[in-house]
Amino acid sequence: MSGAVSGKGAAVEVRAVEKRFGNVGIIRDLNLSVAEGERHAIIGPNGAGKSTTFNLISGHIAPTSGEVKLNGDVISGLRPFEINRRGLSRSFQVTNVFARMTVWENVRCAVLWATGHRYAFWKNVDSLPEVRERTARILDDIHLTHRRDVPAGLLTYAEQRELEIGITIASGATVVMLDEPTAGMSHAETDRAVSLIRRLTEGKTLVIVEHDMSVVFGLADRISVLVYGHIIASGTPEEIRRDPKVKEAYLGEEAH
Amino acid sequence: MTTAATSTAKVAADAAGGSLRFYGVWLIGIVVLIVLPMIFSSGGSLTSFSLIGIAIVFALSYNILLGQTGLLSFGHAVHYGLGGFAACHMMNAVVSHGWPIPLPFIPLFGGLGGLMFAMIIGWVMTKRAGTVFAMISLGIGELVASSSLILRSVFGGESGITTDRTALPKLLGWSFGPQLQVYYLIAFWLVLSAIAMYALTRTPLGRICNAVRDNPERVQFIGYDPHVVRYIAFCFAGFFAGIAGGLAAINFEIANSAYLGAIQSGLVLFSTFIGGTAFFFGPILGAILVTYLQLGLTNLTTAWQLYFGIIFIGIVMYAPGGIAGLLMMHRPLIRAGTLWTVIPSYLVAIVPTVALACGVILAIETVARFSGGDAINLFGIAFNPTSPVTWIAAAVLVVGGFVVARLTWRRIAEAWDRAGTVARDRGYLA
Ligand SMILES: Nc1ncnc2c1ncn2[C@@H]1O[C@H](COP(=O)(O)OP(=O)(O)OP(=O)(O)O)[C@@H](O)[C@H]1O
Ligand SMILES: [Mg+2]
């Protein structure tokens, strides 16, 4: 798996990014490089700045300084929808769906821009075959076909998490970022979600934040460890497991 | 993959069955509009129907903002009014230049008037949703309404701009002098606009409007700029409001500052909300009810605005989904076959609730007419507003009605719980 990494350019590159909220520096000199086709996990204690890193890369917030590149182009400073149109899609740690719309509508909305229908007000949304097929396939993938007509707000927690993934991958983005996709799930649900993620991100670049170490070490080609807004180590699962700084700062904490 | 294929087939089958029902509803609506004036042909009914038609177009246009895109506007009448003025000026220009444009095309110019203003003002207005948008819409509404009194050449000052709809070129021999012909013109534009606005909800843009309503933040992460979505929705709403204003200009043969003002903006908000914003037909029900109430109540009582207020508060507190929401709430029960279990509790509740309403009416009218001394006529019974007997009757009805009504409302809730549980078990309710 990890052999695929070499020889390809960086899909996501974060260079010397700082982020301050007021006087508090939350992200300090952040450097991160995710190769094309790589599955990259970001781990770190609560409040380390993992979600903030996601927000910085996806354009949700702008860095105070430094730059972010997607496939070699600078994207820091762009709006989230501009970054999304360039092929980067992210999910949210706290479920962030369209609550009053049905599961079907949720996924379909996420398909519309990528299929080129944009702001069209002269087309019937129900008679767009490629949109319908893609939506149906994604619902099938996330096992929610039987819930297609239920408003997203009425789904169970685990179902909402799966819908969150479905919306994120619906556009067919080449870079997918998932923020704690399995948080709050039971063991069985986590297993299912992980195999889902593995399958849906086949051939794509994946950046994932995850607290469950068995998931991280089972899924990731490379891992970055974020502590207090700074990446203290980045490498293969084997390298990370052996790294003394990581042991001290993070994995040691897990052990006791 | 197979599941995807079968679900696609199911969608197609559903669509076929649904489309029959769908076109049926629209056809019935059109037939009703055609035969209505044949059944109720008095001048008064024709006037009412015409006003209702205009109010429906206006309320549907408002719901593009409120129900579909989640934008609460306090100044929607601006587009209605400017549409009215545009239509009046256009009619006068047609007459003075002798252009070959017959009256039925005039509402289109009203629409363009509403659209033009929306395009100019909308980009700044729709930058933010929520309170910011609401406040700006209020400000713009006041600004335009007050300018209309200052810019006399365009708006005609206090007296407004008058016009003569019969002076335009005839179409198929129709002069549009008689109210019946005006009614059919309004009905025609009502059908056209309603179909267009319904179709809009079924387009990619329409669905993304819903997404922006539900979660403007997430929309940005599926490739859409919520600002652009809101702007386009705002322009459509302005266009259809302008059509409604153009129809009003034709109907009244005048446009004046009252078209643009806060009262008109409030009325459309009121109609749309009472009807229910979550369903396309909600504003239609609201516009019908509110127009009838307005026409009926203004004749009966000077305190009619107070009743509007009470109804509005009641809906906001007890039925935020409006009338459409109340009706559609029963759909899962009908499907599950448990509707009959809640009906008896409704019937029981009617009596004390009506008593309570009578008490409230009596109390309001007593206060309203106390100094004038006019008798209150409630269901054929005359009450003297200065007599203590009336006060006691009002107090007994309000207090007694409320106490008993609350018990019966509780029974409705219990019946609903039971019916809902069954419906949920049978899979008709999520
Ligand atoms: N908009 C903001 N304004 C101020 N402080 C913020 C803001 N967003 C995040 N923070 C702070 O930045 C720090 C990092 O938060 P972040 O959500 O990125 O952590 P995280 O690594 O994702 O943690 P968790 O594992 O709990 O999800 C926290 O201390 C948080 O309070
Ligand atoms: Mg987080």
What is the DSSP annotation of B118-170? HHHHHHHHTTS-HHHHHHHHHHHHHHHHHHHHH-HHHH-GGG-EE--GGGSPP
Mean pLDDT for A47-74 is 96
| pLDDT number for residue B337 | 83
B31 CB neighbour count, 10 Å cutoff: 10
SS3 for B279-311 is CCCHHHHHHHHHHHHHHHHHHHCCCHHHHHHHH
pLDDT of A84 over the 80 cut: yes
Q: With an 8 Å Cβ cutoff, are A118 and B229 in contact?
A: no
Cα-to-centroid distance, B322 and ligand 1 (Å): 40
Query: How far is the C-alpha of B133 from the C-alpha of A147, rounded, in Å?
Result: 35
| Pairing, β A222-227 against β A230-235 | antiparallel
Mutation to test the A interface, candidates B203, B221, B231, B235, most A Cβ within 10 Å:
B221
| pLDDT number for residue B133 | 96
Whether the CB of B12 is below 8 Å from some CB of chain A: the reply is no
Q: Dump pLDDT digits (tens) for A88-133.
A: 999 999 999 999 999 999 999 999 999 999 999 999 999 999 999 9
Sign of CA dihedral B138, B233, A160, B7: positive
Q: Is the distance from the beta carbon of residue A19 to the nearest atom of ligand 1 less than 6 Å?
A: no
Query: How far is the C-alpha of A210 from the C-alpha of A185, rounded, in Å?
Result: 12
Are A54 and A70 spatial neighbours (Cβ–Cβ below 8 Å)? no
Residue A75 structure tokens: 């994207």
Cα-to-centroid distance, A20 and ligand 1 (Å): 11
Are B260 and B78 spatial neighbours (Cβ–Cβ below 8 Å)? yes
| pLDDT number for residue A7 | 45
Cα-to-centroid distance, A24 and ligand 1 (Å): 11
Residue B38 structure tokens: 């044949």
Are B105 and B177 spatial neighbours (Cβ–Cβ below 8 Å)? no
- Across all residues in chain A, what is the average pLDDT? 92
A226 CB neighbour count, 10 Å cutoff: 25
pLDDT of A66 over the 90 cut: yes
Q: With an 8 Å Cβ cutoff, are A90 and B229 in contact?
A: no
Regions in chain B scoring below 50 on pLDDT: 1-8
Closest residue in A to B15 (Cα–Cα): A126
Residue B232, strand partner residues? none
Fold of A1-87+174-256: Rossmann fold (3.40.50)
Mean pLDDT for A170-177 is 95
Q: With an 8 Å Cβ cutoff, are B200 and A121 in contact?
A: yes
| pLDDT number for residue B299 | 79
Q: Which residues in chain B touch residue A84, judged by CB atoms under 8 angstroms apart?
A: 220-223
Residue B248's Cα: distance from chain center in Å? 15
Residues 6 or more apart whose Cβ sits within 8 Å of residue B307 = B293, B297, B301, B364
Q: Is the distance from the beta carbon of residue A20 to the nearest atom of ligand 1 less than 6 Å?
A: no
Q: With an 8 Å Cβ cutoff, are B4 and A92 in contact?
A: no
Residue A216 structure tokens: 């991280």
Whether the CB of B386 is below 8 Å from some CB of chain A: the reply is no
Q: Which three-class secondary structure state does DSSP give residue A97?
A: coil
Which of these, A199, A216, A169, A220, lies nearest to A34 by C-alpha position?
A220
Query: How far is the C-alpha of B302 from the C-alpha of B240, rounded, in Å?
Result: 32
Which of these, A242, A245, A237, lies nearest to A5 by C-alpha position?
A237
pLDDT of A147 over the 70 cut: yes
Q: Where in chain A is the domain with CATH 3.40.50.300?
A: 1-87+174-256
CA atoms lying within 13 Å on the CB side of residue A50: 25
Structure ipTM: 0.93
| pLDDT number for residue A225 | 95
Residue A113 structure tokens: 């821009």
pTM reported for the whole predicted model: 0.92
- Lowest-confidence segment of A24-28, A43-47, B156-160 by average pLDDT: B156-160
Q: Which residues in chain A touch residue B1, judged by CB atoms under 8 angstroms apart?
A: 137, 140
Query: How far is the C-alpha of B142 from the C-alpha of B261, rounded, in Å?
Result: 7
The closest CB to that of A119, out of B11, B211, B228, belongs to B228
Residues 6 or more apart whose Cβ sits within 8 Å of residue B132 = none
| pLDDT number for residue B196 | 97
DSSP A36: T
Q: Which residues in chain B touch residue A139, judged by CB atoms under 8 angstroms apart?
A: 4, 7
Pocket residue to mutate for ligand 1, from A20, A21, A42, A91, most atoms within 8 A of Cβ: A21
| pLDDT number for residue B57 | 98
Helices then strands, each counted (H, E), chain B: 17, 4
Q: Where in chain B is the domain with CATH 1.10.3470?
A: 33-321
Residue type, B327: L
Say how many CB pairs under 8 Å bridge A and B.
125
Whether the CB of B203 is below 8 Å from some CB of chain A: the reply is yes
Q: Which residues in chain A touch residue B214, judged by CB atoms under 8 angstroms apart?
A: 98-101
CATH, range B33-321? 1.10.3470
| pLDDT number for residue A15 | 95
Residue B53 structure tokens: 């038609």
Q: Which residues in chain A touch residue B199, judged by CB atoms under 8 angstroms apart?
A: 124
| Pairing, β A205-209 against β A222-227 | unpaired
B129 CB neighbour count, 10 Å cutoff: 18
Are B362 and B376 spatial neighbours (Cβ–Cβ below 8 Å)? yes
Residue A13, strand partner residues? A33, A69
The string of DSSP letters for B228-268 reads: HHHHHHHHHHHHHHHHHHHHHHHHHSEE-GGGGSHHHHHHH
